[in-house]
Amino acid sequence: MIKKYDLIIVGGGIMASSLAYNLRKDGYTGSIVVFEKDRMYEYSSTPRCYGGFRQTFSIPGNIQMSKLSLQVLKNFEKEMALDDEPAVIDFKQHGYLYLANEQALSLLKENMKVQKSYDVNVQLLTPEETKSLVPELNVDDLAGAVFDVEGGNADPYSVLQWYVRHAKRLGVEYVYEKVQALLTDGLHQVKGVKLETGAEYHAPIVVNAAGAWSGEISKTMGVDIPVRPYRKQVYCVDLAVPFKTDIPFVFDYLGTYFQGEGLKVIIGSREGSNETEQQDYSFNFDFTLDRSYFNEEVWPLLAERSPNFDQLKLETGWAGLYEYNYIDHNAIIGKHPDMNGYYLLTGFSGHGFQQAPAAGKALSELIRLGKYETIDLTPFSITRFAENQLLLESEVY
Ligand SMILES: Cc1cc2nc3c(=O)[nH]c(=O)nc-3n(C[C@H](O)[C@H](O)[C@H](O)COP(=O)(O)OP(=O)(O)OC[C@H]3O[C@@H](n4cnc5c(N)ncnc54)[C@H](O)[C@@H]3O)c2cc1C
């Protein structure tokens, strides 16, 4: 059985759904089908993500994507309302605070010049000013901090669901089946996909938005892309002594990050022994929480930063996967140069939630018009690896 469509998207997460929605919204009239293997999104990255957004990057393209996405998220509740139901996404702007020693601060200051040239509201703080923003912090070791005033959090699962609802309403079909292989004509033209059920769907355009699984699925048609799964953990703790205010999203140069209100704090760590990058595409992942890693590696760093972390209870937490571009840790967006009709929307390496609104919009333009209009994402093309034009972003964690 072969079904024909104009455009196929593999993966039904936030990237795929932002793209599908933007295509339709901007007037694409061809038929679109999205394949999602995990109907409840149990292991997908989007619902396992923090939902943090910030504009403090070092590369213009990342800043531009985050700026555009912020505008979308800011207006989401109103713009994406359906049948008078507001599109609630728990949008909060409590800021992003980067705590730095001398070495970290000099890099952050360099990046601030680029950020300010794009009108990002970013401030340099002395240790004393940092302490007055969050009085519970120990600032003795700090040379200063950088505050991204407009940064914050939203609920990624809600954003995803609103995109899905809109896309479906605009006629995009979602099929909850696993794509087993991408198909080609045997030469250099993508042909469609084969499902695990054996069914084939053909289309002249196939977009790989399969997140952490995108490297694995691309390999089925012999096209290697540098994206692998990378396991990351999130810890949710209750504090015996709460922070007095809704603290910003704090990035500590010591290696942790945390955000929360009162007793409840969410914590992550930048790296560590069990935050493992997979060396192949296999998926024998353990999605449960490694509590001993928190106790031994993360908690001591937190306690160094604030006495409020001295007494805490690790309530819960989870592991999820980054769709990790292991070469330069940035998105891979656009046409594949060696396979006609094959487009990539992957590799966001830990900042995909906040870039999905912009990336989906930009790729929809490239597909519909053959060029970018709103923001130029040409530097994010996969051709950069062969051309040695890597995107060396210093603010990815
Ligand atoms: C712990 C953690 C914290 C994070 N924090 C942040 C943050 O604060 N800010 C931020 O911007 N980003 C963050 N991220 C990153 C963010 O979650 C991802 O970049 C983003 O969700 C990627 O979206 P996606 O649609 O590409 O992936 P996904 O949501 O994983 O969607 C891809 C989908 O493809 C489906 N799929 C895969 N293979 C197939 C197949 N063969 N057939 C059919 N379907 C298939 C999967 O089931 C999946 O649902 C975090 C990630 C993690 C894990």
Which domain-ending residue is among 322, 341, 374?
A: 322
Position in ligand 1 atom list of the atom nearest CA 52:
8
- 159 and 60 within one domain: yes
- 67 and 34 within one domain: yes
Q: How many domains does the chain have?
A: 3
CB 114 within 8 A of CB 56: no
- 366 and 343 within one domain: yes
- 260 and 123 within one domain: no
pLDDT digits (tens, 9 = 90+) for 64-117: 999 999 999 999 999 999 999 999 999 999 999 999 999 999 999 999 999 999
Q: Which of 281, 353, 355, 396 to mutate to test the pocket of ligand 1 (most atoms within 8 A of CB)?
A: 353
Range of the domain at 263: 235-246+255-322
Which domain-ending residue is among 149, 164, 188?
A: 149
- 159 and 72 within one domain: yes
Distance of CA 187 to the CA centre of its chain: 33
Q: Is 27 inside a domain boundary? A: yes
- 278 and 259 within one domain: yes
Q: Is 396 inside a domain boundary? A: no
DSSP 3-state percent helix, strand, coil across the chain (nearest 5): 30, 30, 40
Burial per residue of 42-69, b for 16 or more beta-carbon CB atoms within 10 angstroms, e otherwise: ebbbbbbbbbbbbbbbbbbbbbbbbbbb
- Provide the pLDDT for residue 271: 62
pLDDT digits (tens, 9 = 90+) for 207-236: 999 999 999 999 999 999 999 998 888 999
Look over the chain and give the mean of its residue pLDDT values, rounded to a whole number: 94
Q: Ligand 1, atom 52: nearest CA belongs to which residue?
A: 49
Q: Is 81 inside a domain boundary? A: no
Strand partners, 193: 182, 201
- 375 and 305 within one domain: no
Position in ligand 1 atom list of the atom nearest CA 320:
53
- 213 and 163 within one domain: yes
pLDDT digits (tens, 9 = 90+) for 161-212: 999 999 999 999 999 999 999 999 999 999 999 999 999 999 999 999 999 9
Would you say the CB of residue 348 lies under 6 angstroms from ligand 1?
yes
Which two structure tokens, joined as six digits, stand for 226? 């540098």
Residue 283: pLDDT band by 50, 70, 90 thresholds? low
Closest CA to 225 of 321, 346, 329, 351: 346
Position in ligand 1 atom list of the atom nearest CA 46:
21
Which domain-ending residue is among 322, 339, 354?
A: 322
